[in-house]
Structure 1
Amino acid sequence: MSGSSGVMAPPRPGPAPAQKVPSPFSLPLHALRLAGRCLLPLVLWFSAGQLIRWGLLYVMAETSHGSVRQLRLVGTNLLMTLIVMVTMTMITGMFLSLRKALTETRARRADGTQDERFWGSMNRVAPAFALIYLAWELYLEDYRDFLQMDYFHNLDDNFYVTIFNNIAHGTKEEATLGRGMIDLDWRISAVAMVVVFGLRFLFEKMVERGSGKYSGLALAYSEFAFMFCGLSAVFTFTKARSDWASHRAVVESTNDLWAKAKESVPGWEAFWGFVHDVWPYVIDAVAVPLTWLAIAVLVFGGSVDDTRKALTGTKAVRGVDRLEESHTITQKAVDRVIGGFQERWVPVVNAFRITIKGGAVAFGVMCVLYVGLHVGADYLDRGVRTLIGSDVPYMWLVVSWPVKFVKDMLLTILTFAVLAATFDIAAIRARAKGEDITA
């Protein structure tokens, strides 16, 4: 239940000498200072990551079409895994660049704690990072980039052109555009899933034992590959199970009760309609910033996947104690039931717990800045595109890429700086009270 990745975190510092405690309202200025001090490495990390991702996306768009297609699709899924690993490396590298400029880092150095080496940080961060990345489906941005690359790179292979050619020449060719991740035969997908699961199990044991210089990275790659290679098999089995379950008496009676509640309970439909409308905004404004903060805390040396820490101070921690004292079979059964919920929400709760050490105001300011940056970036993008304008056909096929690159780079740098500043202010305020931000 602890969710520990098994990789040792860097040594934790003791209380530092008294220092000036920053105000939570200084977060915007602190974020700008961090972004300014680390601007060059941040730009280089982002640019290098995007360049490598673009190259892999291009190869992926080429690989997913042609003869021996099932073999090509296996390669496509493995390439997507590699792309996600590149994204993970870029994000970790940017946070590590910001870590060097943190006041908390200087305090750790004063306590005699040495800076963690890059590959040591990557190996430590990778397993927990992979779980958070998959639980919150952050890989969807990589998948959307692949679809965009595939459509624009293979314009002559689109759906309508294929239909026209079939009618004109009497052929029965199937359109494969944009289907590189979903057309893998479920039997091949199942075999690949079993093979990757074996590797995943092996690397997980190595991580638990603390052996293998890059076992954490290997485990993360196996985790991503297990998900992508098993996509078709999981979809096939899930659909069959869903069709079977939908005809069971229990499911049918539950659906009937839900329908009757809509009709008989006053305000039932209005309440759930309100929840349905509001919940996405709560996720985007609160949960998503905390998810990215959890990743930042992970890189900065904290632990965010420990269930006990997330429940500290509540009665629920007694349940964790009892579960850990129970039989191994019971623990595994519970993990299967709540595993997805745990991987999704425990890092968020831990990130909130760390943020709140800087004060409730710091948490609120961080959320406002995060949402403001993303909304402002969208309006700025629209304004720049309107300002450039053009009546030249297809010009935006060329111009849109640099505009999007600059927008994404500025947004990513400022967002990561806000997250780093939030952690730093919380760490400084915790030190002033004699607390450890990562404890």
Structure 2
Amino acid sequence: MPSPFSLPLHALKLAGQCALPLILWFSVGELLRWGLLYAATEIQHGSYRQPRLIVAYVLLTLIILVSMTVITGMFLSLRRALRETRARRADGQPEEQFWFSLNRVAPAFAVIYMAWSLFYEDAADFQQMDLFHNLDDNFYTPILNNVANGTDEEVTYGVGLVSLDWRVSLAAMVVTFGLRMLFGRKAERGSGRYSGIAAAFAEFSFVFCALNALYNIALARGEWAEQRAVVDSTKNFWEQAKTSVPGWEAFWNWFAEVWPHITEALAVPLTWLAVAVLVFGGSMDDTRRALRGTRLERGVDRLEQSHTITQSAVDRVAGGFMERWVPVVNAFRITIKGGAALFGLMCLLYTGIHVGADYLDRAVRTLIGSDVPFMWLYTGMPVTFVKELLVTILSYSVLAAAFDIAASRARLQGEDITA
């Protein structure tokens, strides 16, 4: 019976055994990602800007698919070294091929990726590449010319994600929604070799087009919305609560400060563990499994026996909440199979790796130091690459080791942790 306190050593062992494939996956992924970002930066500016932006959106979607492929490849590399995998091989279970795993993982991965807004990093890199590429000639020069000459020359750099015309976005939403439904149903039936990947591609494209359309519509209707009675009364209620309820403002200020730390320390590790378990062969979007053994499981039974209209209504109201939290709850239930110590140690190690890497990055940059202007524009990339490589490998190894310990303990007790 493996001990939960063996997690650090087991994680380091997995990282050492799989170091070469993990480094290769990460390096190739970063190279492809940089190439697609550069191509998107080059193609989105010039004449026929709207068609160019559509191509840039397609490239951004491909960037996220590259991230999904790299994540799947890295977890599959770790899966081959797990004790649980060796036990399944001994039981005669065949090993899943890479493309089959990717096609199976893609739809659920897209839901988790979007529900927790994990695409923010990709969007930020997209905007940063667009902003810093030819920074002087294409960003500052138009601004200075506008100030000096009193003109209103449009600055197109750094705003590519919100520059697509909202009518084009709505049309693209209709198309991508249809593709998402088509390939999603194929993936559910198990037909089509790459239907899951195509469904994930359509999901990412649909969300990006929707975000752009909503941003531009909200921008155009912002002044109108501020004048509506409902919005005005809500603001008045909030202001009255601040003055009349003792401790109201202090509580919400404290909550706004503490909640991001709770999310980063507990929910984020469980979210990535849910992604890992998906690759390892488990199902993380099963609501019944998340509520198994609780009184709420009866509510799932009643919902499944209700009319389809009722089920659709509940899905529309609570769909986003379930997509966000059901995988997290399932990941928690899997981890807790190894004991509360395993859950706490996994979250502690995952958070400690990221916090420690930030301090180490600051120490390395201070140690290198330089008085050369703009030196870090070209020397910061290698430092960031090495930091992200180490953080990614160690974090994924911790998640894989936590799953391995929990699965081994459950199997020795006669349970199947992925069932």
2 CA distance for matches of 1:82 and 1:118? Answer: 18
User: Residue 341 of structure 1 corresponds to which residue in structure 2?
Assistant: 321
Residue 182 in structure 1 maps to residue 182 in structure 2: no
Following superposition, the deviation at residue 253 of structure 1 comes to 4.2
User: Residue 73 of structure 2 corresponds to which residue in structure 1?
Assistant: 93
Q: 1:410 aligns with which of 376, 390, 395?
A: 390
User: Residue 63 of structure 1 corresponds to which residue in structure 2?
Assistant: 43
Q: Partner letter of residue 230 of structure 1?
A: A
User: Residue 102 of structure 1 corresponds to which residue in structure 2?
Assistant: 82
Following superposition, the deviation at residue 242 of structure 1 comes to 7.0
Structure 1 gaps of 5+ residues are 1-20
Following superposition, the deviation at residue 368 of structure 1 comes to 0.6
Residue 330 in structure 1 maps to residue 277 in structure 2: no
2 CA distance for matches of 1:288 and 1:43? Answer: 23
User: Residue 115 of structure 1 corresponds to which residue in structure 2?
Assistant: 95
Residue 163 in structure 1 maps to residue 139 in structure 2: no
Q: Partner letter of residue 217 of structure 1?
A: I
Q: Give the stretch that moved more between structures: 135-144 or 385-394.
A: 385-394
Q: Partner letter of residue 327 of structure 1?
A: H
Residue 229 in structure 1 maps to residue 202 in structure 2: no
2 CA distance for matches of 1:260 and 1:151? Answer: 42
Q: Give the stretch that moved more between structures: 157-166 or 198-207.
A: 157-166
Q: Partner letter of residue 343 of structure 1?
A: E
Residue 301 in structure 1 maps to residue 281 in structure 2: yes
Q: Partner letter of residue 115 of structure 1?
A: E
2 CA distance for matches of 1:47 and 1:215? Answer: 27
Of Structure 1 and Structure 2, the greater helix share is in 2
Q: 2:362 aligns with which of 367, 382, 385?
A: 382
Greater RCO (CA < 8 Å, at least 6 residues apart) = 1
User: Residue 274 of structure 1 corresponds to which residue in structure 2?
Assistant: 254
Superposed counterparts of 1:190-201, under 5 Å: 190-201=170-181
- SS of the equivalent of 1:53 reads helix
User: Residue 48 of structure 1 corresponds to which residue in structure 2?
Assistant: 28
Q: Give the stretch that moved more between structures: 130-139 or 326-335.
A: 326-335
2 CA distance for matches of 1:339 and 1:70? Answer: 32
1 CA distance for matches of 2:154 and 2:230? Answer: 41
Following superposition, the deviation at residue 224 of structure 1 comes to 0.3
Q: RMSD over aligned Cα, in angstroms?
A: 1.8
Aligned length: 419
TM-score (norm 1): 0.91
Following superposition, the deviation at residue 247 of structure 1 comes to 5.2
1 CA distance for matches of 2:305 and 2:268? Answer: 34
2 CA distance for matches of 1:426 and 1:134? Answer: 27
8 Å CA contact retained: 2:29, 2:70 = yes
CA 1:249/1:81 → structure 2, altered by over 3 Å: closer, same or farther? Answer: same
- SS of the equivalent of 1:78 reads helix
1 CA distance for matches of 2:219 and 2:329? Answer: 32
TM-score (norm 2): 0.96
Q: Partner letter of residue 301 of structure 2?
A: D
Residue 434 in structure 1 maps to residue 414 in structure 2: yes
Q: 1:393 aligns with which of 362, 373, 389?
A: 373
8 Å CA contact retained: 2:336, 2:342 = yes
Residue 215 in structure 1 maps to residue 215 in structure 2: no
8 Å CA contact retained: 1:157, 1:177 = no
Residue 132 in structure 1 maps to residue 112 in structure 2: yes
Q: 2:348 aligns with which of 368, 372, 382?
A: 368
CA 1:137/1:328 → structure 2, altered by over 3 Å: closer, same or farther? Answer: same
2 CA distance for matches of 1:410 and 1:226? Answer: 33
2 CA distance for matches of 1:205 and 1:304? Answer: 18
1 CA distance for matches of 2:219 and 2:337? Answer: 45
2 CA distance for matches of 1:217 and 1:206? Answer: 11
Structure 2 gaps of 5+ residues are none
1 CA distance for matches of 2:199 and 2:114? Answer: 13
Q: Partner letter of residue 89 of structure 1?
A: T
User: Residue 143 of structure 1 corresponds to which residue in structure 2?
Assistant: 123
User: Residue 272 of structure 2 corresponds to which residue in structure 1?
Assistant: 292
8 Å CA contact retained: 1:157, 1:175 = no
Following superposition, the deviation at residue 149 of structure 1 comes to 1.4
Q: 2:134 aligns with which of 142, 149, 154?
A: 154
1 CA distance for matches of 2:174 and 2:134? Answer: 32
Q: Give the stretch that moved more between structures: 56-65 or 159-168.
A: 159-168
Q: Partner letter of residue 184 of structure 1?
A: L
8 Å CA contact retained: 1:35, 1:414 = yes
User: Residue 10 of structure 2 corresponds to which residue in structure 1?
Assistant: 30
Q: 1:173 aligns with which of 146, 150, 153?
A: 153
CA 1:251/1:170 → structure 2, altered by over 3 Å: closer, same or farther? Answer: closer
- SS of the equivalent of 1:181 reads helix
Following superposition, the deviation at residue 52 of structure 1 comes to 0.2
- SS of the equivalent of 2:5 reads helix
Following superposition, the deviation at residue 251 of structure 1 comes to 5.0
CA 1:214/1:357 → structure 2, altered by over 3 Å: closer, same or farther? Answer: same
Following superposition, the deviation at residue 262 of structure 1 comes to 2.8
Q: Partner letter of residue 91 of structure 1?
A: I
- SS of the equivalent of 1:80 reads helix
1:380-428, Cα deviation, whole Å (9 max, x unpaired): 1111111111222332222111111011001100000000000000001
1 CA distance for matches of 2:369 and 2:228? Answer: 57
Q: Partner letter of residue 387 of structure 1?
A: L
- SS of the equivalent of 2:323 reads helix
CA 1:199/1:391 → structure 2, altered by over 3 Å: closer, same or farther? Answer: same
Q: Give the stretch that moved more between structures: 389-398 or 296-305.
A: 389-398
CA 1:325/1:252 → structure 2, altered by over 3 Å: closer, same or farther? Answer: farther
